[in-house]
């Protein structure tokens, strides 16, 4: 672990980023097309904060935080002992986040979203708004996000949606494949949340994006479904 100009690096210089070079180039475009849910950025941030019920001393994890737009916005909504960790494995994104979105209650960490360095149930809210469609195994990230979510905690993701029309879906998949991006169907993410034991699952479809939220029950009987994970 080392501290690098405003962020904590748990990976080191030899760790290969999960995002290839062309994905880093296309990321802003893909985030705009798929990850913003067809809404202006300020409205999207407000929507996300409301879905996560951010209003106090909560522990929040922003997975695939990129340049920290949501991370810093969430941090400003918290009080007491509340904080947000913005996590990404990209050095350029960490550098942008610490340069453009440093603020009180926001901590940036370069770490692997496929193996989150936190204990089970460590966070009251977990989110991912611009990364699931950019990685090769998004379900593995979702599994980790659910694992670190506390009982009663809320989870929210925004990602791609391939529409119901077969022709439109094929066109989107072709364009996305060129950019190394995944196009999700309507059922995969809600079905995963349901299988993980989450409740109050809500999916909102808008254009070619989807916004899905859920909550872990207060009396959580599903904690061991993905197996225990202990970290130092």
- pLDDT, one tens digit per residue, over 108-129 is 999 999 999 999 999 999 999 9
How far apart are alpha carbons 100 and 67 in whole angstroms? 7
In three-state secondary structure terms, 151 is strand
Q: What is the pLDDT of residue 171?
A: 54
Is pTM beyond 0.75? Reply is yes
Residues 173/158, Cβ–Cβ less than 8 Å: no
Encode pLDDT of 85-107 as tens digits.
999 999 999 999 999 999 999 99
Local confidence band at 202 (pLDDT 50, 70, 90 cut-offs)? very high
Give the tokens for residue 59.
């522990």
Q: What is the pLDDT of residue 89?
A: 93
Domains and CATH numbers, the chain: 2-10+19-215 (3.40.50.150)
Q: Is residue 215 pLDDT above 90, yes or no?
A: yes
Q: What is the pLDDT of residue 227?
A: 41
Give, in degrees to the nearest 5, the angle at Cα 171 between 168 and 173: 110
Q: Is residue 74 pLDDT above 90, yes or no?
A: yes
Q: Which residues pair with 60 in a beta bridge?
A: 84, 125
In three-state secondary structure terms, 209 is strand
Burial status of residue 197 (CB atoms within 10 A of its CB: 0-12, 13-18, 19 or more): middle
Mean pLDDT throughout 145-169? Answer: 84
Local confidence band at 208 (pLDDT 50, 70, 90 cut-offs)? confident
The average confidence (pLDDT) of the chain is 83
Lowest pLDDT segment from 86-90, 174-178, 182-186? 174-178
CA dihedral 115, 116, 117, 119 (to 10 degrees): -110
Local confidence band at 1 (pLDDT 50, 70, 90 cut-offs)? confident
How far apart are alpha carbons 192 and 187 in whole angstroms? 8
Mean pLDDT throughout 139-164? Answer: 93
Express as a percent the part of the chain with pLDDT over 70: 77
Q: What is the pLDDT of residue 97?
A: 96
Q: What is the pLDDT of residue 177?
A: 54
Q: Is residue 226 pLDDT above 50, yes or no?
A: no
Residues comprising the chain, all counted: 232
In three-state secondary structure terms, 156 is strand
């Amino acid at each position: 672990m080392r501290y690098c100009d405003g962020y904590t690096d748990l990976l080191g210089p030899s760790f290969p980023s999960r995002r290839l070079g062309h994905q880093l180039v296309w990321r802003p475009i893909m985030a705009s097309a798929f990850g913003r849910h067809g809404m202006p950025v300020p409205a999207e941030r407000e929507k996300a904060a409301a879905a996560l019920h951010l209003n106090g001393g909560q522990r929040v994890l922003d997975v695939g935080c990129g340049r920290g737009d949501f991370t810093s916005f969430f941090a400003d909504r918290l009080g007491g002992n509340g904080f947000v960790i913005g996590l990404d494995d990209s050095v350029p994104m960490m550098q942008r986040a610490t340069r453009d979105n440093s603020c009180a209650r926001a901590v940036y960490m370069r770490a692997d979203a496929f193996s989150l360095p936190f204990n089970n149930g460590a966070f009251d809210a977990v989110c991912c708004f611009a990364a699931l469609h950019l990685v090769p195994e998004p379900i593995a990230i979702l599994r980790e996000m659910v694992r670190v979510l506390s009982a009663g905690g809320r989870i929210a993701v925004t990602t791609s949606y391939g529409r119901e029309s077969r022709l439109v879906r094929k066109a989107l998949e072709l364009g996305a494949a060129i950019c190394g991006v995944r196009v999700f169907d309507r059922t995969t993410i809600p079905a995963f949340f349901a299988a993980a034991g989450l409740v109050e699952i809500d999916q909102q479809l808008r254009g070619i994006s989807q916004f899905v939220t859920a909550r872990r029950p207060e009396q959580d009987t599903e904690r061991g479904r993905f197996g225990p994970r202990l970290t130092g």
